[in-house]
Amino acid sequence: MAPVVFAALASVSMGLWVVFNKVAAGYVNQLLGAILLSVTAVAIGGTVFLLRGPPAAQLVTSPKGIIFVVLAGAAAFSMDFLSLTAYSRGLPITVGGPIIIGGSIAVATLLGFSLGEPATITKVIAIVLIVVGAALLARVA
């Protein structure tokens, strides 16, 4: 399967994550919610790991990979906790979702440029439009 298909499926997952977080925010403590999200991810990941079996489940790691995965885990917890907090304080999903997703696109793209990926005019224009759109939505809130 082409890598872009996995990216498209991940975008659907992130969209669902935004909606589920918004709905959950009014019913759960934000810290507990973020912890439950992490525990759920571990449980599902562990199940997938066990079902795949060797050699697909073979653990090949490097110290650099572990450092960045731990940093990604810290970012995921922050994302869960901060979004639950924003939504629990009344932020509409039509504002919060685009800011969270659009902002993450901008950050990921800019960091991609800093990692040496080529910056094309199309990419730069797209990032500017995303940032402008997120800024406009932030003013609505």
User: Has residue 53 got a pLDDT over 80?
Assistant: no
User: For residue 56, what pLDDT is reported?
Assistant: 60
More confident residue, 17 or 135: 17
Among 74, 80, 117, 128, which Cα is nearest to 100's?
80
Structurally, how many domains does the chain consist of?
2
User: For residue 80, what pLDDT is reported?
Assistant: 94
In percent, the amount of the chain with pLDDT more than 90 equals 52
pLDDT tens sequence across 54-85: 766 567 778 888 899 999 999 999 999 999 99
Q: Is residue 41 classed as helix, strand or coil in its secondary structure?
A: helix
Highest mean pLDDT out of 4-8, 84-88, 129-133: 84-88
Q: Is residue 64 classed as helix, strand or coil in its secondary structure?
A: helix
Do the beta carbons of residue 30 and residue 84 sit within 8 Å? yes
Chain mean position to CA 81:
12
Q: 43-47, 81-85, 107-111, 135-139: lowest mean pLDDT where?
A: 135-139
Kindly state the average pLDDT of the residues 28-53. 92
The residue among 52, 67, 91 that closes a domain is 91
User: For residue 74, what pLDDT is reported?
Assistant: 95
User: For residue 50, what pLDDT is reported?
Assistant: 85
Range of the domain at 83: 1-91
Report residue 22 as tokens: 């918004």
Locus of tokens 């009344």:
90
Q: 20 and 50: one domain? A: yes
Spell out the residues 6+ positions from residue 50 whose beta carbon is closer than 8 angstroms to its own. 57
Kindly state the average pLDDT of the residues 4-32. 92
The residue among 76, 91, 106 that closes a domain is 91
Q: 20 and 84: one domain? A: yes
Q: 118 and 55: one domain? A: no
Spell out the residues 6+ positions from residue 21 whose beta carbon is closer than 8 angstroms to its own. 33, 80, 83, 84, 87
User: For residue 116, what pLDDT is reported?
Assistant: 93
Q: What span, in angstroms and rounded, lies between the C-alpha atoms of 3 and 132?
A: 28
Q: What span, in angstroms and rounded, lies between the C-alpha atoms of 88 and 18?
A: 13
User: For residue 58, what pLDDT is reported?
Assistant: 65
